[in-house]
Amino acid sequence: MVSLSDYLILSAVIFCIGLVGIFINRTNIITLLMCVELILVAVNTNFIAFSHFLGNEAGQIFVFFILTVAAAEVAIGLAILTLLFRNKGSINVDVTNSLKG
């Protein structure tokens, strides 16, 4: 049988890949958004695994809402991205450093 621990470690790995993806990537911002999605999927896996092993649906319900939030977030994220593109003509991460210090 697959233990709970296996699922959790899997999601931990995915979670970390998501995190790493955010900060190692200097290409474009859209990848950042995708990494955020990855993080959320990892968390969702966590919740589902717990829910399954606890025999308690609350976790799954939570995932349901996380998916909703994620969708909304993507909508806004892409909107901002579009605005950025309109303003700077690029979505390169490096262009967004006029605010610093």
Partner 1 sequence: MTFDQILFYVFSFWFIASSLAMIFSRNAAKAVLFLILSFFSAASIWILLEAEFLAITLILVYVGAVMVLFLFVIKMLNIDKSTLRAKFAGYLPLGLIVAAIIIAEMTLVLGGNQFGLDVVAAPARHAADYSNITVLAMQLYTTYVYPFELAAVLLLIAIIAAITLVHRNELNRKKQSISEQVNVQAKDRVRLVSINSPNKENK
Partner 2 sequence: MENIYLTIALAPLLGAIIAGFFGGMLGRKATHTITILGVLVSTVLALYVFNHHVLEKGEIFNQNLYTWMQIGSLNISVGFLIDNLTSVMLVVVSFVSLMVHIYTIGYMDDDDGYTKFFSYISLFTFSMFMLVMSNNFMQLFFGWEAVGLVSYLLIGFWHHKESAVEANLKAFLVNRVGDFGFLLGIGLVLAFSGSLDYAEVFSSLDNTTNQQLWGLDLITVICLLLFVGAMGKSAQVPLHVWLPGSMEGPTPISALIHAATMVTAGIFMVSRMSPMFELSDVALTVVMVIGAITALFMGLLGIVQNDIKKVVAYSTLSQLGYMTVALGVSAYSVAIFHLMTHAFFKALLFLGAGSVIVAMHHEQDIRKMGGLRKKMPITYWTALVGTLALIGFPGFAGFYSKDMIIEAVHFSSLPYAEWVYYAVVAGVFITAFYSFRMFFLVFHGKSRVDHHTEEHLHESAPSITFPLIALAIPSAVIGYFTIDPMLFNGWLDNAITIDAEKHVSMTELSNIFHGAAAMIPHAVQTLPFWMMVGGIATAWVFSLYRTQWADWVQNKFHRTNYALESLYGFDRFNEIVFVGGIKKLGNLLWKVSDMGIIDKIAVNGSARLVGFIGSVVRPIQTGYVYHYAFFMIFSLLIILTWVLFAGDNPLLQIEF
Partner 3 sequence: MMNTFQFDTALLLVALPEIFLLSSIVVILLVDLFLTKGFKQVTYYLTQFSLFITGLLAFNLIGHPETVIFSNSFVLDNMASVFKVFMMGATMVAMVYSRHYLTQHSLFRGEYFVLVLLSVLGMMVMVSGYSLLTLYLGLEILSLSLYTLIAIARERSGAIEAALKYFVLGAIASGLLLYGMSMIYGISGSLNISEISAFASDANLGSRETLIINFGLVFLVIGIAFKLGAVPFHMWVPDVYQGSPTSVTMFLSTVPKIAAVAMLVRILIDGLGAMHPYWSDLFMVLALLSIALGSVVALMQTNIKRMLAYSTISHVGFIMLGFVTGVVTGYGAATFYVLVYVFMSLAAFGIIILLNKKGFEADQISDYKGLSKHSPWFALMMLIVILSMAGVPPMLGFYSKFFILQQLVSAGFVTIAIIAVVFAVISAYYYLQIIKSMYFEDSEKEIVVSAPMDMKLILSINAILILVIGLFPDFWMKLALSLF
Nearest residue to 77 (alpha-carbon basis) of 43, 40, 51, 24: 40
Task: Compare residues 10 and 62 and give the one whose CB is closer to partner 3.
Answer: 62
Q: Judged by CB under 8 A, does residue 14 bind partner 3?
A: no
Q: Which of partner 2, partner 1, partner 3, none is residue 5 near (CB under 5 to 8 Å by kind)?
A: partner 1
d(CA 23, CA 32): 8
Burial class of residue 85, CB neighbours in 10 A (0-12, 13-18, 19+): middle
Site string for partner 3, 29-68 (x = CB under 8 A): x--xx--x--xx-xx--xx-xx---x-x-xx-xx--xx--
